[in-house]
Amino acid sequence: MHESSVAVPANAAGNGLYATRAISVRCLAGSYAVAGGTAWSDDQDDNELITIYSRPIMEARRAVGWRARGGSDLNGTVTFTVQVLCAAG
């Protein structure tokens, strides 16, 4: 599995607007993406953290990585991580 992270900056909590960031991660050359997903550095139940989209990166009709965008309505910076599971071939 490969992953990459980005800091999503603080936002005025409760204002209904989200600070967002997108990030992607690729499989090694010669491999392809089997599945992908996202994670947050803080997963408390009362936090407003969303994954806006999570999808494969396609090249020549083949999934070669994963891309996602996350949004935060928190008053502090949090880390958004995208992960991809790759297979050789």
Q: What is the model's pLDDT at position 59?
A: 95
DSSP 14: T
Q: How many CA atoms lie within 13 A of 62 on its CB side?
A: 12
Q: What is the model's pLDDT at position 46?
A: 80
DSSP reduced 3-state for 73 = coil
DSSP symbols for 27-48: PPTTEEEEEEEEEES---TT--
Span 64-85, mean pLDDT?
Answer: 95
C-alpha gyration radius of the chain = 14
Residue ranges covered by each domain of the chain: 2-88
Gap between the Cα atoms of 59 and 41, Å rounded: 30
Span 49-57, mean pLDDT?
Answer: 96
Report whether pLDDT(60) > 80.
yes
From the DSSP assignment, how many helices (H) and strands (E) are in the chain? 0, 6
Query: pTM of the prediction?
Result: 0.88
Q: Confidence band (pLDDT; 50, 70, 90) for 11? A: confident
